[in-house]
């Protein structure tokens, strides 16, 4: 049997796509390996969001090329595929920069992979056109065993692409226009995952709350309506969605946060900046106060809501004052966890052409200050859960024998001693201690709940 090794960079969509590629290649006789040295086929599933991510691909390709040469010397063939957003953005340039690459395939075309692999025996190929057909119709479902081996928490792509055109972002160019999958297809996938033992679904998309898929009734369904329907799928205990845009938080979705116990009280809602001037230059189409008010409305629906966000520092033209506005917004809102980045100019995006690029040293200093504040908030949030009883979805054995590990509703890793529980159960745990990354707790037996 031939072996395929896939390495994914970047976002959760790439993790999902990598699984779909391995599922498809399984039907072509490839088994998955975690060791690149033994792979007959190496796929790098790439990310183009920031310069660092894109450059990593070329250094990794250099290593894969050496491996290819070594294997060749011992009579073994290695094929190399570059997939994902760098493939989409750079296409032929990749073949030019790295002669060992056999195929370059964009995120909308990976259902063509078997065909591309066959054809690339005679010539090196690039497939980055946006096809008319829906790739999901051509992708086989994984085996039950494969799904089980991937764990009790699964990603499910419900939409792809983005029409927002934030001025710093390559996504609208690499992933294309916003497309929502039909409700029936999503339900089918959700049922299949649940039947194989999946308990938690994270709905993913580049701008997932812009979801507007065709419902079984012919009407257009919003994300709120889709979540309500998914909460009825037997076996599904938890729902999450990521990543969202503040402008697409509609009333139905906000209400779902109050109405659906399965929808976890944790929301990743990137704000990027707290300065109205920068938000405008970013084309985010909202102000800092509009974001604050939106958060208030969602917290009214779900008072336990914990938030996470993405931030960019050093966007072109960002002054000290603009940056202080970001720090103030963070202090006002309070985030349980966040991602923050130095602005990275991306070729072809409007912000890359803007004057007043911020010097690297200033970006570094601002990032350090912001990350310091965000880390303080994260620790405070984690410590704040000590003494609470939280539901924990059990995912795997713990670090030490006799321990079991899972996630809180707020995505915090939780460990506790147990020899009676099984992976996939949702168990009530009293948190007794917060470490730097994990919480430690004790099982609360059902009868003891009132005393907790
Ligand atoms: N530079 C820095 N960060 C960026 N992001 C997107 N584009 C850029 C860029 N050019 C960040 C945003 C986004 C996250 C996925 O990556 O914060 O929400
Ligand atoms: Fe990029 Fe997100 Fe803005 Fe879309 S909404 S352009 S994916 S940052």
Give the Cβ contact number of residue 318 at 10 Å: 25
225 is in an annotated binding site: no
Q: Which residues of 259-285 are buried (b: 16+ CB within 10 A; e: fewer)?
A: ebebbbbbbbbbbbbbbbebbebbebe
Q: Which residues of 151-165 are buried (b: 16+ CB within 10 A; e: fewer)?
A: ebbbbbbbbbbbebe
Q: What CATH number does the domain containing 25 carry?
A: 3.40.50.12160
Helices (H), 91-151: 92-97, 113-119, 144-149
Ligand 1 atom nearest residue 345's Cα: 10
pLDDT in tens, 70-84: 999 999 999 999 999
Ligand 1 atom nearest residue 311's Cα: 17
Q: Of 127, 151, 172, which closes a domain? A: 127
d(CA 312, ligand 1 centre) in Å = 6
pLDDT band at 94 (very low <50, low <70, confident <90, very high): very high
In the three-class reduction of DSSP (H, G, I as helix; E, B as strand; rest coil), residue 190 is classed as helix
d(CA 252, ligand 2 centre) in Å = 22
Q: Does pLDDT of 449 surpass 70?
A: no
Domain hosting residue 424, numbered range: 389-451
Instruction: Write down the pLDDT at residue 415.
Output: 97
Give the Cβ contact number of residue 297 at 10 Å: 12
Q: What CATH number does the domain containing 304 carry?
A: 3.80.30.20
99 and 65 housed in the same domain:
yes
412 and 376 housed in the same domain:
no
425 and 323 housed in the same domain:
no
434 and 296 housed in the same domain:
no
Q: What is the mean pLDDT of residues 178-193?
A: 96
Instruction: Write down the pLDDT at residue 134.
Output: 85
pLDDT in tens, 342-365: 999 999 999 999 989 999 999 999
pLDDT in tens, 294-329: 999 999 999 999 999 999 999 999 999 999 999 999
Residue 139 Ramachandran class (φ > 0 left, ψ -120 to 50 alpha, else beta): beta
Task: Specify the pTM.
Answer: 0.95
Q: Does pLDDT of 124 surpass 70?
A: yes
144 and 85 housed in the same domain:
no
Q: What is the mean pLDDT of residues 185-204?
A: 97
What is the overall mean pLDDT for the chain? 95
Q: Which helix (H) or strand (E) holds 44?
A: strand 41-46
Helices then strands (H, E): number in the chain?
14, 21
Q: How many domains does the chain have?
A: 3
Pocket of ligand 2 (CB under 6 A): 162, 164-166, 169, 171-172, 206-207, 245
369 and 394 housed in the same domain:
no
392 is in an annotated binding site: no
d(CA 206, ligand 1 centre) in Å = 12
Q: Of 328, 357, 384, which closes a domain? A: 384
380 and 393 housed in the same domain:
no
pLDDT in tens, 376-409: 999 999 999 999 999 999 999 998 899 999 999 9
166 is in an annotated binding site: yes
């Amino acid at each position: 049997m031939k072996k395929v090794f896939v390495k994914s960079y970047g976002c959760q969509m790439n993790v999902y796509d990598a699984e779909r590629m391995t599922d498809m290649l399984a039907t072509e006789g490839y088994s998955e390996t975690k060791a690149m040295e033994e792979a007959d086929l190496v796929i790098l599933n790439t990310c183009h969001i920031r310069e660092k991510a894109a450059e990593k691909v070329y250094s990794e390709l250099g290593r894969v090329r050496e491996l290819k040469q070594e294997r060749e010397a011992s009579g073994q063939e290695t094929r190399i595929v570059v997939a994902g957003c760098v493939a989409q953005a750079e296409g032929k340039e990749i073949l030019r920069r790295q002669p060992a690459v056999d195929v370059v395939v964009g995120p909308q075309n990976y259902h063509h992979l078997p065909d591309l692999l066959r054809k690339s025996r005679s010539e090196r190929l690039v497939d980055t056109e946006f096809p008319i057909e829906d790739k999901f119709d051509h992708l086989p479902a994984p085996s039950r065993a494969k799904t089980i081996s991937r764990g009790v928490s699964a990603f499910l792509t419900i939409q792809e692409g983005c029409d927002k055109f934030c001025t710093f972002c390559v996504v609208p160019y690499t992933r294309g226009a916003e497309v929502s999958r039909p409700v029936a297809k999503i339900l089918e996938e959700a049922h299949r995952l649940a039947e194989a033992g999946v308990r938690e679904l994270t709905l993913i998309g580049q701008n997932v709350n812009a979801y507007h898929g065709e419902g079984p009734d012919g009407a257009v369904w919003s994300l709120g309506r889709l979540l309500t329907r998914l909460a009825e799928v037997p076996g599904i205990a938890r729902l999450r969605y990521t990543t969202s845009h503040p402008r697409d938080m509609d009333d139905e979705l906000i209400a779902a946060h109050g109405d659906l116990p399965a929808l976890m009280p944790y929301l990743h809602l990137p704000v990027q900046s707290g300065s109205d001037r920068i938000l405008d230059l970013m084309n985010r189409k909202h102000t800092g106060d509009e974001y604050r008010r939106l958060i208030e409305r969602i917290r009214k629906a779900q008072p336990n809501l914990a938030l996470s966000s993405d931030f960019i520092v050093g966007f072109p033209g960002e002054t000290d004052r603009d940056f202080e506005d970001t720090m103030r917004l963070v202090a006002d809102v309070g985030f349980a966890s966040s991602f923050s980045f130095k602005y990275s100019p991306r070729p072809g995006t409007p912000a890359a052409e803007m004057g007043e690029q911020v010097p690297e040293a200033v970006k570094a200093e601002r990032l350090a200050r912001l990350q310091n504040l965000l880390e303080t908030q994260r620790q405070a949030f984690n410590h704040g859960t000590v003494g609470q009883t939280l539901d924990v979805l059990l995912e795997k054995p713990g670090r030490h024998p006799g321990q079991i590990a899972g996630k809180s509703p707020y995505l915090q890793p939780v460990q506790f001693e147990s020899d009676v529980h099984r992976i996939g159960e949702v168990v009530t745990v009293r948190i007794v201690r917060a470490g730097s990354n994990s919480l430690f707790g004790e099982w609360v037996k059902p009868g003891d709940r009132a005393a907790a």
